[in-house]
Amino acid sequence: MAINWFKYSAPTTFYGLAGKLIPWFAIPAAILFAVGLYIGFAVAPMDAQQGEFYRIIFIHVPASMLSMFLYMVMAGYAALGLIFNTRLSSMMASAVAPTGALFAFISLWTGALWGKPMWGAWWVWDARMTSELILL
């Protein structure tokens, strides 16, 4: 029996499925988030060169990766919306944009907090940092 996945491209059908799945994903995500923060900030040993400042990396790197991933997802939804002219794709691209911008801001902020004690400057015009700023 084949599942008709195209029925979920209608917002009314998709919202019903998303409403049922949110509790199943939210609870494990919250637990894993708390465990990750505990391991990163309480269990991991201090770095010999950077001291305690390296712990910022446990927030900075995932935020950077997630912001880039969300912008790629947004581009994919925008492309689907342009190619197939589906309403849900455009709505999803619009919904992903603020979250991507939030994680880009977190990435830039934590990078500046780490860069000041390590490099002696809050900002360096590196290609990765500048591209993240442009995406913000």
Question: In the structure, what pLDDT confidence band is assigned to residue 5 with cuts at 50, 70 and 90?
Answer: confident
Question: In the structure, what pLDDT confidence band is assigned to residue 102 with cuts at 50, 70 and 90?
Answer: very high
Report the pLDDT value the prediction gives residue 127, as an integer from 0 to 100. Answer: 87
Question: In the structure, what pLDDT confidence band is assigned to residue 85 with cuts at 50, 70 and 90?
Answer: confident
What gap in Å lies between CA 135 and CA 125, rounded to an integer?
15
b (16+ CB within 10 A) / e for 74-86: beebbebbeeeeb
Per-residue pLDDT at 11 exceeds 90: no
Helix %, strand %, coil % of the chain (to 5): 85, 0, 15
| pTM of the complete model | 0.81
Mean pLDDT across the chain, nearest whole number?
A: 90
Question: In the structure, what pLDDT confidence band is assigned to residue 79 with cuts at 50, 70 and 90?
Answer: very high
Report the pLDDT value the prediction gives residue 95, as an integer from 0 to 100. Answer: 93
